[in-house]
């Protein structure tokens, strides 16, 4: 396996990002429930001054540690070294809507990709001080304890997570899908943070998580967490997922197969918008 280079001060990527996301999480907590400057990016999609502040904080530390790496960040787009072998993928605040209304379900999430393969991912929930970490080939952890996807095999007993995302048409199909599935499951959780939804599915809290409209920074950490937690992470039709696949399905193999069986033919499975 290719070894990731050390940072400018001799640290491994995980040694760099662990304290970094904890510090970023503290900035989020310092701002939580305070007056925010809110801008609208779409009908339901917002960004706050805190998204920008935390992103700049993360990027300046990552650039300093790894001047030769590329960067893909939600608020500032592509940066760093172009044509770099490795790219940091950064979402400074996943769950901005929750954050802006005082709901304590949000996270900092970042990942490192070599080409299209995610080799490291971390998602940090500062409210619960929960740090989800994974490195390709080295397992997945929550606060250093190994995690696994759900052992559940019975779809009727499953707790399923999703989010509405920012495509109204696809969200309408997702609601139709839930209507089709209901009540053949235990419960639905609409999280408000896809990164936490994916981390919760990787750690077996949710039995399955699905989403139809995400970006690389929403899913990157979740992909490696899922792989390393023994999960199956695919696109909405069970096919391979890449960083630019907008839809995602994360579960164990049995529940994923059953989800695909029960949702066969629904518009959510093949509509483009």
Interface ranges with ligand IPD (CB under 6 A): 45, 91, 94-96, 163-166, 191-194, 213-214, 218
Q: Which is nearer to ligand IPD, 113 or 248 (CB)?
A: 248
Rounded distance between C-alpha atoms, residue 121 and residue 227, angstroms = 11
Closer CB to Ca ion, residue 90 or residue 140? 90
Q: What is the DSSP string of 130-158?
A: EEEEEETTS-EEETTEE--------GGG-
For the CB of residue 107, give the shortest distance to Ca ion in the complex, in Å. Answer: 9
Site string for Ca ion, 165-204 (x = CB under 5 A): ----------------------------------------
- The token duo for 144 is 């250093």
Residue nearest to ligand IPD as judged by C-beta position:
163
Q: Tally Cβ neighbours within 10 Å of residue 187.
A: 13
Phi/psi at 153 (nearest 5 deg)?
A: -115, -10
Give strand pairing partners of 162.
190
Shortest distance in whole angstroms from residue 81 CB to Ca ion: 23
Name 272's Cβ contacts closer than 8 Å, sequence gap at least 6.
Answer: none
Counting contacts by CB under 5 A, is residue 218 touching Ca ion? yes
Cβ proximity to ligand IPD, 4 vs 159, nearer residue: 159
Would you say 218 or 228 has its CB closer to Ca ion? 218
Q: Strand, helix or coil at 102?
A: coil
| Chain residues 244-263 in contact with Ca ion, contact rule CB under 5 A | none
Q: Which residues bind Ca ion (CB under 5 A)?
A: 74, 91, 93-94, 218
């Amino acid at each position: 396996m290719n070894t990731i280079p050390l940072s400018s001060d001799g640290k491994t990527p995980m040694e760099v990002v662990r304290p970094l996301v904890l510090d970023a999480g503290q900035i989020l907590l310092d701002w939580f429930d305070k007056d925010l400057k809110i801008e609208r990016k779409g009908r339901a999609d917002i960004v706050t001054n805190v998204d920008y502040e935390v992103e700049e904080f993360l990027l300046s530390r990552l650039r300093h540690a790894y001047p030769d790496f590329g960067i893909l960040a939600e608020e500032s787009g592509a940066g760093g070294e172009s044509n770099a072998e490795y790219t940091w993928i950064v979402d400074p605040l996943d769950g901005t809507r929750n954050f802006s209304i005082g709901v304590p379900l949000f996270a900092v999430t970042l990942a490192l990709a070599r080409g299209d393969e995610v080799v490291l991912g971390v998602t940090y929930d500062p409210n619960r001080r929960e740090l989800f970490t994974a490195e390709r080939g080295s397992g997945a952890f929550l606060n250093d304890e190994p995690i696994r996807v759900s052992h559940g095999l019975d779809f009727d007993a499953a707790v399923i997570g999703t989010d509405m995302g920012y495509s109204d048409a696809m969200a309408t199909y997702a609601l139709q899908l839930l209507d089709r599935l209901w009540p053949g499951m235990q419960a639905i959780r609409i999280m408000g943070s896809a990164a936490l939804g994916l981390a919760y599915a990787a750690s077996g809290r949710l039995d399955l998580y699905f989403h139809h409209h995400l970006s690389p920074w929403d899913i990157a950490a979740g992909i490696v967490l899922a792989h390393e937690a023994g999960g199956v992470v695919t696109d909405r039709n069970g096919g391979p997922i890449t960083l630019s696949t907008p839809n995602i399905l994360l579960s164990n193999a049995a529940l994923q197969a059953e989800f695909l069986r029960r949702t066969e033919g629904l518009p959510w499975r093949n509509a483009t918008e």
